[in-house]
């Protein structure tokens, strides 16, 4: 009887150590793009990107093991922030990262009211600036494409004219070579014409 009892205690001890020594980490991402890691399943309003099981370091206390382990990833600042004041950028950053930093809901609501009051017009102007720059870059891109197409067309037409001119020069050269009644002056002209043809049209 004592042997059975000892066996049961040993098995329970192994199971307890196994449960303490290993823990699943849930990698979560919220609607604002903030990423964090929890020791419990991701909240319903977030997306689970990974669930990794691994050992818990032996130096952690029981409180540390029971508390969520969070790794915060600073989201990339929106493009329109570059045209906003430092205060408005800071407010917007705090609102966007409030969930991952566990800021109280009433504090977030206050920041939203402050942002709406002091920064909404500035944000609208910043978006307009971004849109204007995008339109300008798109116009510049179209103009560059059009210039490249015109240059390519001009080069193609120039090449076609060159080939036509060389073809005509070849025809004239062959016709002169075929004559047998050339005078000395005409033979000299033919020789110069042939040299010019070779220098210009032979590639």
pLDDT surpassing 60 at residue 176: yes
- 9-18, 68-77, 123-132, 190-199: segment of lowest average pLDDT: 9-18
Question: Hey, how many other C-beta atoms are within 10 angstroms of the C-beta on 51?
Answer: 12
pLDDT in tens, 52-93: 765 544 434 333 444 444 455 555 778 889 989 989 988 898
| In a domain? residue 102 | no
Average pLDDT of the segment spanning 26-52: 76
For residue range 112-154, what is the model confidence (pLDDT) as tens digits? Answer: 999 999 999 999 999 999 999 999 999 999 999 999 999 999 9
* Domain membership flag for residue 55: yes
Higher-scoring residue by pLDDT: 157, 43: 157
In a domain, 56, yes or no: yes
pTM summary value: 0.42
% of the chain exceeding 90 in pLDDT: 34
Q: Is the residue at 118 inside a domain?
A: no
- Establish if 17 belongs to a structural domain: yes
Total domains in the chain come to 2
Look at residue 115 and tell me if it is in a domain. Answer: no
Average pLDDT over all residues of the chain: 78
- Mean pLDDT across the stretch 4-28? 51
Q: What's the pLDDT score for residue 78?
A: 86
Q: Answer with the residue of higher pLDDT: 36 or 80.
A: 80
Residue 20's pLDDT is 43
Is there a domain that residue 48 lies in? yes
| C-alpha to C-alpha distances, 177 to 168, 189, 200, 201, nearest whole angstrom | 14, 11, 18, 17
HSE-up of residue 127 (Cα within 13 Å, Cβ side): 6
Asked whether 173 and 202 are in contact (CB, 8 A), the reply is no
Residue 113 lies inside a defined structural domain of this protein: no
Q: Are residues 128 and 197 in the same domain?
A: yes
d(CA 98, CA 107): 9
CB contact at 8 A, 65 and 56: yes
> Do 132 and 194 lie in a common domain?
yes
Whole-number pLDDT of residue 182 = 87
Range of the domain at 142: 124-201
Q: Is the predicted pLDDT of residue 13 greater than 60, yes or no?
A: no
């Amino acid at each position: 009887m004592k042997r059975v009892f000892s066996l049961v205690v040993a098995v329970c001890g192994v199971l307890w150590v196994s449960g303490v020594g290993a823990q699943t980490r849930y990698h979560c991402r919220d609607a604002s793009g903030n990423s964090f890691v929890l020791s419990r399943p991701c909240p319903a309003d977030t997306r689970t990107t990974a669930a990794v099981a691994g050992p818990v370091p032996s130096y952690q206390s029981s409180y540390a093991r029971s508390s969520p382990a969070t790794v915060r990833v600073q989201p990339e600042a929106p493009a329109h922030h570059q045209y906003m004041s430092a205060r408005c950028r800071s407010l917007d950053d705090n609102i966007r990262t409030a969930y991952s930093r566990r800021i109280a809901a009433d504090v977030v609501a206050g920041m939203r009211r402050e942002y709406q009051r002091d920064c909404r017009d500035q944000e609208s102007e910043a978006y307009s600036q971004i849109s204007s720059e995008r339109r300008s870059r798109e116009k510049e891109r179209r103009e560059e494409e059009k210039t490249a197409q015109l240059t390519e067309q001009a080069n193609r037409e120039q090449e076609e004219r060159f080939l036509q001119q060389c073809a005509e020069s070849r025809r004239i050269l062959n016709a002169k070579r075929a004559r047998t009644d050339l005078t000395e002056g005409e033979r000299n002209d033919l020789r110069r014409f042939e040299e010019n043809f070779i220098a210009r049209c032979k590639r």
